[in-house]
Structure 1
């Protein structure tokens, strides 16, 4: 029960902080000028507020679960204040927790200025979201290295998280743009087509970074071998994650080379309902696989593979 709760909280934190960072970043590279105003295209203000507040709540729960597991007590009511203080001041995980809370509070302050300075607010939330998301690297295998090797491993894990967050945020933004209520007319369809085309170069960079850092992280954690690893639970989950990532790349390529150009042609012809429906189906599959991958990452972070 304890392991299941830990995995569930890790999954929720990963999902929430990736959304916070990814959505704010999408607002910067995907939209222009007045399009960034909350409610014009996306309800950024409410979306970012909710993810920031949820991130704080989940972080508090995660700290309680960690304290309970480290203290060995049977119930949360038995935990003492000094034990929390010891975790916060005496462990790297506690330090990363404080950094995450500070970043999320900064994000909330930034969002409060959204109506007046939309672009500056998005920059502030993007930076704060990146810091909050990066702090999760200290709760997994990214913090297990020592010396200079440990720093490189941590950097690789942070870059992996940020790239994954950028991809998930973009998928969530596209899903919101593809809602029936959002596509009210030709103007919205043209905007969607332009944003999809604009994501092509960003998406390519994201895929390359995820692929490279994923391979580097594997070498740091397991070593240059696969024999024996695939027979373990860790190896099986990692293999499944790789398969899903490959399927996501295939769907992204389908969107890039077929569905996005189809939408552009359809908008010019004045009939885009078929192209939009095809994009909705493709995106639903891609977003579902992304969520499953994040669940696998949350689970993998609690396992201890053999390290060479």
Structure 2
């Protein structure tokens, strides 16, 4: 039960911080002027407030669960000194403190969003990036030593930030493509513009995720392949790769077919079919991304050498 609780919390933390970082970043590079104000296009204020508060709560729960798992204690009075030791005397505790401070600062700036949306989104992007990066200290990189440890952390952090940027963009696209939103030609024109604007950002995200993913695999497993595929870790990793490949196909479909189709349809005045096709594609891509995040949360609790798949 504790293993599944840990996986569920890891999944929640990954999703929460990726959304905080990715959607705030999306607001900065995809929208302009008053469109960055919450409610004009996307509900930034409720999203920023919700993810920061939920992130703090889940972070506290994860620290309690981690201390309980390491000490074997379940009573809070007995658990308190173990939590204090972890927070004050370990690297993961230091990363946790930095995360909490970043979330509190990011959440506080939400109050300024309507008056200063750029400032609010910028601070939220930084806070979300710090919170997301802090999760690397509870991953496989924490087991390395020397310079290898820092390189592994760097790859983990870049991988997490790129994944967060992609997930945030997908959620933003899905929200903008909802049926109750696409009621006017202007809203569809805006969707077509941001999809087209995502081209260069999306290409950079794919390159970073691919390169850091390969490097992280070599850090964790090495050049071996056959033996890893016989483990639970390898099976889950293979599923993750297949889902990622599917996301690449859908992203290419959106960029080279559905996006241009939507723009042509706008000029012709018949855009409903193209808009619906783009929405369905984005929702499928988003579903694959959520599954990948779930697999990442699970993979983080496994060792390639210890977990053997059932045959």
* Shared fold per TM-score greater than 0.5: yes
Q: What secondary structure is seen at the aligned counterpart in 2 of 1:13?
A: helix
Note if contact 1:134-1:162 (Cα within 8 Å) is conserved in structure 2.
yes
1:44 to 2:56 alignment: no
Inter-partner Cα distance in structure 2 for 1:156 and 1:167: 17
Note if contact 1:164-1:210 (Cα within 8 Å) is conserved in structure 2.
yes
Shift of 1:121: 1.2
Task: Summarize deviations over 1:231-261 as a string: whole Å, max 9, x none.
Answer: 0000111111000000000000000110000
Q: Which residue of 2 aligns with 1:164?
A: 163
Q: Which residue of 2 aligns with 1:93?
A: 92
Shift of 1:77: 3.8
Inter-partner Cα distance in structure 2 for 1:184 and 1:250: 28
Q: What secondary structure is seen at the aligned counterpart in 2 of 1:80?
A: helix
Shift of 1:120: 1.3
User: What RMSD over aligned residues (CA atoms) do the two structures have, in Å?
Assistant: 1.1
Inter-partner Cα distance in structure 1 for 2:261 and 2:78: 59
1:302 to 2:310 alignment: no
Note if contact 1:64-1:76 (Cα within 8 Å) is conserved in structure 2.
no
Inter-partner Cα distance in structure 1 for 2:248 and 2:17: 22
Q: Which residue of 1 aligns with 2:309?
A: none
Task: Summarize deviations over 1:81-140 as a string: whole Å, max 9, x none.
Answer: 222110101111111111110110011122111111111111111011100000000011
Inter-partner Cα distance in structure 2 for 1:298 and 1:25: 23
Note if contact 1:175-1:280 (Cα within 8 Å) is conserved in structure 2.
yes
Note if contact 2:102-2:130 (Cα within 8 Å) is conserved in structure 1.
yes
Q: Which residue of 1 aligns with 2:28?
A: 28
Alignment of 1:265-280 (within 5 A): 265-280=264-279
1:142 to 2:141 alignment: yes
The more displaced of 10-19 and 89-98 is 89-98
Q: What secondary structure is seen at the aligned counterpart in 2 of 1:123?
A: helix
Q: What secondary structure is seen at the aligned counterpart in 2 of 1:79?
A: helix
Q: Provide the aligned length of Structure 1 versus Structure 2.
A: 306
Alignment of 1:231-270 (within 5 A): 231-270=230-269
Q: What secondary structure is seen at the aligned counterpart in 1 of 2:183?
A: coil
What residue ranges of structure 2 are gaps of 5+ in the alignment? 307-311
TM-score for the superposition, normalised by structure 2: 0.96
Alignment of 1:1-308 (within 5 A): 1-73=1-73, 75-77=74-76, 79-306=78-305
Task: Summarize deviations over 1:34-58 as a string: whole Å, max 9, x none.
Answer: 1101111111001111011100011
Q: Once superposed, which parts of structure 1, at least 4 consecutive aligned residues long, lie more than 6 Å away? A: none
Shift of 1:76: 4.2
Note if contact 2:247-2:288 (Cα within 8 Å) is conserved in structure 1.
yes
Shift of 1:80: 3.2
Shift of 1:142: 2.3
Inter-partner Cα distance in structure 2 for 1:68 and 1:199: 43
Shift of 1:184: 2.2
